[in-house]
């Protein structure tokens, strides 16, 4: 099939590339000219493991094209995926302006039956809004489908190609049939397609993300409580997670959830609830607890070092999680801001996300070229992201290079006994303080 993807960010580029790999001809459209030029030159503009290989294979195979011109793409394809941003507005609601703007353009450009497939995360009722907007512009038949995306950054290609479910919300048989064809190779390989109405489909996405955010937050609260009563959250996590009704994934406590999805989707669902007179009390608490959790280690560093003025703090990890260059709503940014306000000096290291942080923080902090340069002369080390390279450091090098042997671990990377032996002051999340 010929497919157009509008928006080539994490979702659009991964979906487009993977759909091309399933044999479709895919025309990716983006308004960002710089990005489109890069892609036309065979460069992937984002960091996403496995993506480059599949991207290059499909460009070479003549199935993946890039343009800034929506009309050019629409001339060859009448299935259009929207993978546009839906960032939080001032009041927390999802900003639909990108989606509605492109929907309007589609309405103006359509010349034959068109299927509009919305992959962006949008509030309940958006399919209807998109439908009404296009309907106001054309007499040509069309359908609007909700097809939310569940991929995770860092594992996006793997997740797209092996989905636990493909959710399709539509109200026309023709639309369902086209969606069946698009995903045929995945459903033939065992992926489950769940068909429903558009509103339920839209809500499935928010409900899933909000549930996962709640699960993490619940564990963060259990971890905080563990510290008060002397229990170990890692043991509690393993004990709880072995009950299949609970499951062992997404139970890792830490310095809060971040990223471009959980924070904005929790906010948007709260706001959508308010619009119909419903208060999501659980989600309001989740947001509040998560906000607090993001900077929970700063007072701990203060407890250890006293006044932070001119203290040298090393930060390992800037991305909101491992395997991505994305720093949207990253805990690192909030921790750094709080430390800077307290007069601390910061040297940070993240081999992949550093370029995005430099764009925001510039020379307010120093950037190390490797994890050991980062800790030279440090009064304390804070670990924010669980990159693999931080998991087995040479503790003897840390001991030699740091001013103090003090680690504040927001991701519980190390074995407590090992840190005890190495003689580090070691504060993690929901576990006992070592050498305190």
Ligand X SMILES: O=c1ccn([C@@H]2O[C@H](COP(=O)(O)OP(=O)(O)O[C@H]3O[C@H](CO)[C@@H](O)[C@H](O)[C@H]3O)[C@@H](O)[C@H]2O)c(=O)[nH]1
Ligand Y SMILES: NC(=O)c1ccc[n+]([C@@H]2O[C@H](COP(=O)([O-])OP(=O)(O)OC[C@H]3O[C@@H](n4cnc5c(N)ncnc54)[C@H](O)[C@@H]3O)[C@@H](O)[C@H]2O)c1
Q: Tell me the backbone φ, ψ of residue 396, rounded to 5 degrees.
A: -65, -35
The stretch near ligand Y (CB under 6 A) out of 24-32, 177-185, 331-339, 376-384 is 24-32
State yes or no: 121 annotated in a binding site: yes
d(Cα 414, Cα 393) in Å, to the nearest integer?
10
State yes or no: 271 annotated in a binding site: no
Q: Which does 250 bind (CB under 5 to 8 A by kind): ligand X, ligand Y, none?
A: ligand X
Closest C-alpha among 430, 386, 431, 384 to residue 410: 384
Interaction site with ligand X (CB under 6 A): 121, 149-153, 209, 212, 216, 250-252, 254, 257-259, 261-262, 320-321
Maximum Cα–Cα distance for the chain, whole Å? 75
Binding status of residue 120 toward ligand Y by CB under 6 A: yes
Of 28, 226, 261, 374, the catalytic one is 261
Among 3, 4, 7, 117, binds ligand Y (CB under 6 A): 7
Among 59, 80, 151, 434, binds ligand Y (CB under 6 A): 151
Shortest spacing between CB 64 and ligand X, in angstroms: 22
Shortest spacing between CB 32 and ligand X, in angstroms: 20
Binding status of residue 6 toward ligand Y by CB under 6 A: yes
As to burial, measured by CB atoms within 10 angstroms (0-12 exposed, 13-18 middle, 19+ buried), residue 281 is: exposed
- Per the DSSP assignment, residues forming a β-bridge with 160 are none
| Cα–Cα distance list, 32 to 1, 28, 38, 48 (Å) | 25, 12, 10, 19
Binding status of residue 85 toward ligand Y by CB under 6 A: yes
CB-wise, 29 or 251, nearer to ligand Y?
29
CB-wise, 58 or 214, nearer to ligand X?
214
State yes or no: 138 annotated in a binding site: no
Q: Which does 434 bind (CB under 5 to 8 A by kind): ligand X, ligand Y, none?
A: none
User: Which residues does 418 contact at the CB level (< 8 Å), separation at least 6?
Assistant: 395
Binding status of residue 202 toward ligand Y by CB under 6 A: no
CB-wise, 123 or 254, nearer to ligand X?
254
d(Cα 88, Cα 265) in Å, to the nearest integer?
8
The stretch near ligand Y (CB under 6 A) out of 29-37, 131-139, 228-236, 293-301 is 29-37
Closest C-alpha among 28, 118, 12 to residue 68: 28
As to burial, measured by CB atoms within 10 angstroms (0-12 exposed, 13-18 middle, 19+ buried), residue 119 is: buried
Among 21, 149, 322, 334, binds ligand Y (CB under 6 A): 149
Binding status of residue 234 toward ligand Y by CB under 6 A: no
CB 382 within 8 A of CB 344: no
State yes or no: 21 annotated in a binding site: no
Binding status of residue 84 toward ligand Y by CB under 6 A: yes
Q: Which does 29 bind (CB under 5 to 8 A by kind): ligand Y, ligand X, none?
A: ligand Y
Closest C-alpha among 394, 400, 406, 397 to residue 433: 406
CB-wise, 212 or 282, nearer to ligand X?
212
Q: How many residues bind ligand Y (CB under 6 A)?
A: 26
State yes or no: 254 annotated in a binding site: yes
State yes or no: 69 annotated in a binding site: no
Closest C-alpha among 327, 325, 383 to residue 352: 325
Q: Which does 317 bind (CB under 5 to 8 A by kind): ligand X, ligand Y, none?
A: none
Q: Which does 258 bind (CB under 5 to 8 A by kind): ligand X, ligand Y, none?
A: ligand X
State yes or no: 264 annotated in a binding site: yes
226 among known catalytic residues? no
State yes or no: 205 annotated in a binding site: yes
Helices (H), ranges, 148-197: 156-161, 173-182, 184-188
Angle at 54 between CA 49 and CA 55, to 5 degrees: 95
Closest C-alpha among 167, 170, 223 to residue 429: 223
Restricted to residues 266-325, the positions that interact with ligand Y (CB under 6 A) are none
Give per-residue burial for 217-243: e unless 16+ CB within 10 Å, then b: bbbbbbbbebbeeebbbbebbeebbee
Query: Would you tell me which residues interact with ligand Y (CB under 6 A)?
Result: 6-12, 29-32, 35, 83-86, 98, 101-102, 120-121, 149, 151, 153, 260-261
Q: Which residues are catalytic?
A: 261
Binding-site sequence positions for substrate: 150-153, 205, 250-254, 258, 321
Residue stretches of the annotated binding site for NAD(+): 30, 35, 86, 121, 153, 264, 328
């Amino acid at each position: 099939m010929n497919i157009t993807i509008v928006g080539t960010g994490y979702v659009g580029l991964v979906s487009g590339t993977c759909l091309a790999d399933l044999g479709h001809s895919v025309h990716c459209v983006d308004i960002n000219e710089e990005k489109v030029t890069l892609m036309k030159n065979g460069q992937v503009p984002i960091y996403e493991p496995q993506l480059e290989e599949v991207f290059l294979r499909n460009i070479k195979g003549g199935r993946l094209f890039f343009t800034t011109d929506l009309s050019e793409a629409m001339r060859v394809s009448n299935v259009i995926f929207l993978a546009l941003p839906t960032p939080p507005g001032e009041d927390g609601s999802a900003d639909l302006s990108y989606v509605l703007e492109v929907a309007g353009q589609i309405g103006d450009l359509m010349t034959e039956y068109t299927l509009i497939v919305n992959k962006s995360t949008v509030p309940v009722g958006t399919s209807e809004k998109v439908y009404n907007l296009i309907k106001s512009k054309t007499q040509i038949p069309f359908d609007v489908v909700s097809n939310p995306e569940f991929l995770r950054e860092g594992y996006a290609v793997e997740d797209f190609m092996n989905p636990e479910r493909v959710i399709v919300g539509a109200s026309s048989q023709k639309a369902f049939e086209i969606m069946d064809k698009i995903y045929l190779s995945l459903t033939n390989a065992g992926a489950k397609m769940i068909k429903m109405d558009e509103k339920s489909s839209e809500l499935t996405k928010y409900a899933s993300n909000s549930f996962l955010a709640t699960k993490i937050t619940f564990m963060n609260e259990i971890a905080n409580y563990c510290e008060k009563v002397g229990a170990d959250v890692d043991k509690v996590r393993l004990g709880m997670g072995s009950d299949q009704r609970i499951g062992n994934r997404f139970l890792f406590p830490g310095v809060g959830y971040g990223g471009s999805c959980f924070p904005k989707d929790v906010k948007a669902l709260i706001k959508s609830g308010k619009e119909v007179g419903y208060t999501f009390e659980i989600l309001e608490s989740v947001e509040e607890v998560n906000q607090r959790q993001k900077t929970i280690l700063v007072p701990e560093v203060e407890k250890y070092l006293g006044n932070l003025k001119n203290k040298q703090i090393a930060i390992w990890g800037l991305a909101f999680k491992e395997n991505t260059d994305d720093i949207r709503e990253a805990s690192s940014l909030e921790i750094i801001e709080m430390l800077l306000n307290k007069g601390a000096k910061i040297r940070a290291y993240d081999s992949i996300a550093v370029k995005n942080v430099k764009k925001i923080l510039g020379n307010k902090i120093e950037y190390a070229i490797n994890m050991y340069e980062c800790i030279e002369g440090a009064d304390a080390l804070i670990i924010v992201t669980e990159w693999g390279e931080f998991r087995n450091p040479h503790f003897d090098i840390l001991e030699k290079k740091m001013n103090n042997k003090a680690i504040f671990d927001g991701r519980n990377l190390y074995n407590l006994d090992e840190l005890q032996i190495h003689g580090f002051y070691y504060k993690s999340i929901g576990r006992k303080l070592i050498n305190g």
